[in-house]
Chains A and B, each alone.
Chain A
Amino acid sequence: MSDFSGELTRPMAEADQVEKSMLSGTGMSIPWLRKQMETVETGGKKEKDFAKTTSACLGLIQEALLKHQWEKAAEYMHSYFQILEDSDAGKRQAAPEIIWRLGSEILYYHPKSNVETFSTFADRMKNIGVMNYLKSVLLLLQISLQHALYLLHHGMLEDANRSLSQAETWRYGEKSSSQDILINLVQAYKGLLQYYAWSKKKMELSKLDEEDYAYGTATQNMRSHSWKTSVNLSALIQIPGVWDPFVKSYVEMLEFYGDQDGAREVLTNYAYDEKFPSNPNAHVYLYNFLKREKAPKEKLISVLKILYQIVPSHKLMLEFHRILRNSDKEEHHKLGLEVLFAILDFAGCTKNITAWKYLAKYLKQILMGNHLAWVQDEWRSRKNWWPSFHFSYFWAKNDWTEDKALACEKALVAGILLGKGCRYFRYVSKQGHQGLKKKMKRMNRAVKSYSIVDP
């Protein structure tokens, strides 16, 4: 019996591809193979009428969905329920999931549907699952989870909580890992709901006077909430995955009750566990936590260093640069330059005026400090593409018309890196702008004294 559980978790698309597609010689499965083969008359046995009508009906529903004909899709859906009586056990088993997917999609968009209709459908699906067709609890859990999410999305926290609590109790047969994960997920969502309630309480509490009688009960209340929540959340965040909302709320609660060590452990684990994907947010959360905790600079730098290796274009990198710039160590100063150059490598950051401003200023500072080699190090790998990427004539014109301040900063950098002859610098310096005369003069002087290009 439990054999089916594996089959059931297969997504719908796959459930009917098992037969429609075939692993051709290359090992690739081709969903449209069946269609091609149907054009050739084979002497084989034909699909049964029942199977034909159901698969045709499925096709019609999908077509209607893609054409946004929700009413039509709903009508077809009526007929599609016949699949629940399919004599093919495999298909019958896969049916509830398909029905849930299509049905929920239809009801989500159907103009006459509302939260009640949706909930009724979800509850019926759960009943079908419990009573007749489901030998596995997995789909049930998925339905409950999605239903809860739907309710949550509509602001119905209590109903969502009820749906999740109900789901939590469903278990069937031998415990499988996927069932465990889903249960954990259900609990985590429940925890999140509790966190919302807790957070609300916290807001109310902040308005209350500490002397008030109500204050005591409220804190009591909160404590019980938080305890339940942490139980619910902690299990899931041990499993590899991206659990940003859960981790965030869990840490907030831990911090509120002064469990700094617990929070640090959770965040460190989330950021550094190798089984987890390299999620930039994990490092951001850890950094923010450490910052709140007023951790030593070295610690902050080491966290940001890793973030820098993962996402050099992250907006925290500007902050990283500031920290490095203000550090006492020389190697940090060098890294600060590296970080700035790296930010500006990315297509999405080319117009980041802060980064350009920092770079212009920092270049001057570095060159004044006689660290020409650092600049040359950075420039070596960029000198063959930065000129056309940043300092082309097109950008000079474009930047000047769009953002004169940006153009000035970039021109200064261009002048330092490429010399006075570079097109960007020449274009910008030639644009005699009244308000910027002084700035231009300064820029010219800076370029003259700092340019890394030999005259």
Chain B
Amino acid sequence: MDFPSSLRPTLFMSGPLGLSSVPNLSFMCSWRDALTLPESQPQSAENVAPHLARDLRWEPETPGPFPLLPPSPDPWDPGPTAHDLLFRGGHQSCRRPRATLDVTEQLSRFLWDHGDIAFGPLGNLMQENFKLEGARSRSKTKTVVSVKRLLQDLGGHQPWGCPWAYLSHRQRRFSILGGPVLGGPVASLLGELLKEELAGRWGQLLLDDAFTGGALAWVPGKMPLVGQLVYPNGGALDRLCFQEVSVTPGSDPQVLGDPGHIQLRGPVRQVVTRTVQGEALLAVRSDYHCAVWKVSKQGRPAPLQVLQVEKGATGINLSPHLPGELAVCSRSGAVCLWTPQDGLQQVYKDPETLVFRDPSPWRWADFTAHPRVLTVGDRTGVKMIDTQGPPGCGLLLFRGGAEASCQKGERVLLAQYLGESSPASLSPTLHLICTQFSLYLVDERLPLVPMLKWAHGLPSAPLMAQLLPAPCPGAPRPLLLGGQGGQLQLLHLSGEEVSVPRLAGPPQSLPARTDALSGFPLLEPASQRRLQERLDAPTIGLAAAVPPSASTSGLALFHLSKAGDVFYQHLRLQEGSSFCRDAGLPSDPSPEPHTPTAAAPTPSRTPTPTTASWTPQATAYCSRWLKALLKVPLPPPVWTAPTFSHRHLLGYKEQLQDGGKVLAGLRAAMTQGRLLRQRDVGSFPTAEPPPAPESGPEDELSERLDEAWEGRGADWWRRRQGRSLGLGHQPRRHKRRTQLSSTFSSLSGRWDLSDGPSPPPSPHRTSPVPRPLPPATPHSQGLTQELWTRGVPVERQQTLQDYMARLPSSGLGATSAPPSQASSIRSTPSRQQAPRKKSRMGF
């Protein structure tokens, strides 16, 4: 193999990361990297290094990728967001924001949702101190508390996080007495575990390295234009699908038949495929298992072997040299060479990281140009290990340090061997190393000194990369880089064996899945949000196929999202790109002679980035997919929590009477042929949620404003009061919480107004707040207060019903209709419209 006869000047410094005094000689300008020094003769300086192709560009054919396959029929839950995990109060400095995990909120949520688990055992112990039914107290002992009275005081729904929540003296006594007993053990036992879990979730949200390498693969088939997409599907990503697709240059891909699938026992994290010596192999990594299949010429997978990895597998790669050889690495720090015939051979084992100490157990292994040498990587560096040599020794290929002028906090996220047995225009000794900031190309013959460095600036972790074959001989090879957030970059690498690898043109970005939004018809807000959420799902796989074509160089690009959606995008090499125009002259070494103005291209050669537009076929794909998506049921609530709300018990009779009003309102509206509004019926006649969110309090307000505008304000007020007073048993203590509570329940807002002469809340305070801001200090006040400072979701009513069923029938006559049915009439609207399901941390 030829080694570049003259390398780019580079300063070599050894030391830790982030040595700021090192002048950074790789300036990360794409043009700078392209300039190579002329060789010896000044004459040759005039026709130095191949010119940077200004117009080297892959043009997307549609503004964004479009869905190729129908969505999975299983509901998809996007999981917790930063909003669920972080503390939302407090003062932050602008320059150095700190993320604080909100343990207290999750803990109190747990206490609310799983009170039976949290307090059950203690409750049992203290049973004699509680009196459950409403019967008159016979006991004279002070230590017996009437549950009914306590629940009445709670009012069922105190605003979440409100520091001014009112406490009755009974509650206060109960909380003082019971607090230490009830809160202490739960908080201390659970707090630590919860904090750990939250930190893990937050870390995962920032960087989910489970999908490193990507879980989508393209297995080329018998015919050059037909191949198979291999990807996981299903809600748990545990069904491995094989979908035959034909990519024809110039038209959209054809999905051939239904996908075949294999049901696995765990989520698929990584899918790798390689064709070595005409034999197509497929390797799959799950959390604790790895498996290899052999794909026959007909495209049928035949299982070869399954491997169990006790500590958890973090990476798998197929050898590009020998059929059926794999490199597997696990969290324990072990790297094994695995052949289905001969089994496992441990090559390397070190629980410590390579260069400096880093807590991440992530490990990676790949092959090199020598079939018996593997690379072993972790967050701090990459090492080359000879599998036949003595254990433990090896040579560092990449070091997170001053050698590659790494920044402070820079870590390796992906290491990939770029050599392939295919005819390559790049040397087969190159390795790609990605960190969160930059991309490095390292030649294994000159370790530690990157041949090329490019600051990719991706706003998410680059966990997927793929070097594609050159579209035509002599052209630069496209290198795809995919971020977990869906962002894609395409670099053009060139560098025949005798020259240093370099960027042949400025890197470009490709449309992400979120750019597909414009291809969909406009939807009503709820569906639009659902669609957007789906498009925003993290990317977990990337595959590309280059269909051979005589006329145009095309690139078929497939994305896989965490929701299991496979999107497709077609790219075309721009006409202006000189590389493939004269394909007969690969790597033409004689560019036109330079004049000082040669840098200015003639206007005719100036690329005009054509604006891609949606083709009818693509939009058809989009709307078909969307239709199917909207049919997919929403993820069911994870768990229906018990509730202590008792207002259904206390107030359902009045609500029943409302039913008549609903009917009357409906009839009136029908006869008049006008829209039925909420004020006409008081509340909604069925449990069906209205489409507009947060209509409850707003309607209240607008109704009032309407009346006031027509000069009937006082009238209305009296009327409201009258109605509210009818609900005689309602607690009257919500005065101050009105503004916040309106967020939770349209009902409470109305009832709160019952407090006689107090002025109604001012309009701006009633405006719906999507999520209330917790006060800055309540956490010091302990859990007891927060317990009831929260709205009661409707899903708990089922549990309440169960709870009620256990109670002996009280004098309230709950036999004629189940209370939950009645209550749902009132309370469903506001709950169902909650902007987003609160995640429950998987309890």
Contacts and interface: CB of A to CB of B under 8 A. Distances in A.
B460 interface: yes
Interface in B14-44: 14, 20-25, 27-32, 35, 37-43
A41 B416 CA distance: 38
B508 A40 contact: no
Contacts of A67: 508-509, 609
B372 A345 contact: yes
B21 A177 contact: yes
A26 to B, nearest CB: 5
A197 B409 CA distance: 45
Interface string B255-276: 0000000000000000000000
A374 interface: no
Contact of A109 (B7, B10, B54, B449): B54
A128 interface: no
Q: Which of the listed residues B81, B207, B447, B485 has the most CB atoms from chain A within 10 Å of its own CB?
A: B207
A22 B97 contact: yes
Given A68-B508, A105-B29, A156-B596, A14 B40 contact: no
Contacts of A248: 6, 40
Contact of A26 (B321, B358, B457, B485): B358
Contacts of B82: 36-37, 39-40
Given A35-B459, A42-B90, A348-B419, A9 B23 contact: yes
Nearest to B420: A347
Interface string B72-100: 00000000011100101111111111110
A62 B456 CA distance: 10
Nearest to B451: A242
B466 to A, nearest CB: 18
Interface stretch (A147-155, A167-175, A214-222, A439-447): A147-155
A346 B609 contact: no
A11 B438 CA distance: 11
A234 interface: no
Interface in A182-209: 182, 185, 188, 192, 196-197, 199-200, 203
B803 interface: no
B252 interface: no
B104 to A, nearest CB: 15
Nearest to A151: B596
B81 A9 contact: no
Contacts of B41: 196, 199-200, 203
Contacts of A429: none
Contacts of B52: 108-109
Contact of B29 (A104, A118, A249): A104
Contact of A27 (B42, B358, B370, B436): B358
A348 B5 contact: no
A111 B388 CA distance: 55
Interface stretch (B214-222, B287-295, B600-608): B600-608
A278 interface: yes
Interface residues of B, number: 123
Contact of A39 (B21, B81, B90): B81
B522 interface: no
B3 A242 contact: no
Nearest to A72: B609
A453 interface: no
A17 interface: yes
A448 interface: no
A67 B8 CA distance: 28
Contacts of B321: 347, 389
Interface string A241-281: 11111101100100000000000000000000001111111
B13 interface: yes
Q: B interface, by DSSP: helix, strand, loop or mixed?
A: loop
A112 B597 CA distance: 11
Interface in B420-451: 421, 427-429, 436-438, 445-449
Contacts of B421: 347
Contact of B359 (A26, A241, A243, A388): A26
A155 B437 contact: no
B37 A29 contact: no
Contacts of A306: none
A397 B686 CA distance: 74
Contacts of B632: none
Contacts of A33: 97, 99, 206
A68 B506 contact: yes
Interface string A140-181: 011000100110111111000000000000000000111001
B49 interface: yes
Interface of A: 6-7, 9-14, 17, 19, 21-37, 39-48, 62-63, 65-69, 101, 104-105, 108-109, 111-115, 118, 138, 141-142, 146, 149-150, 152-157, 176-178, 181-182, 185, 188, 192, 196-197, 199-200, 203, 239-246, 248-249, 252, 275-281, 284, 310-311, 313-315, 345-349, 381, 385, 388-389, 392, 394-395
Interface of B: 1-14, 20-25, 27-32, 35, 37-43, 45-46, 48-49, 52, 54, 57, 81-83, 86, 88-99, 199, 203, 205-207, 277-279, 320-323, 358-360, 369-372, 379, 388, 403, 405, 407-411, 419, 421, 427-429, 436-438, 445-449, 455, 457, 459-461, 485, 489, 506-509, 594, 596-601, 603, 606-607, 609, 771, 773, 776
Given A22-B96, A22-B99, 7 more contacts: A26-B203, A31-B437, A39-B83, A68-B609, A150-B35, A152-B37, A348-B427
9 contacts: A25-B199, A31-B459, A45-B93, A105-B29, A155-B45, A242-B8, A346-B370, A388-B323, A394-B279
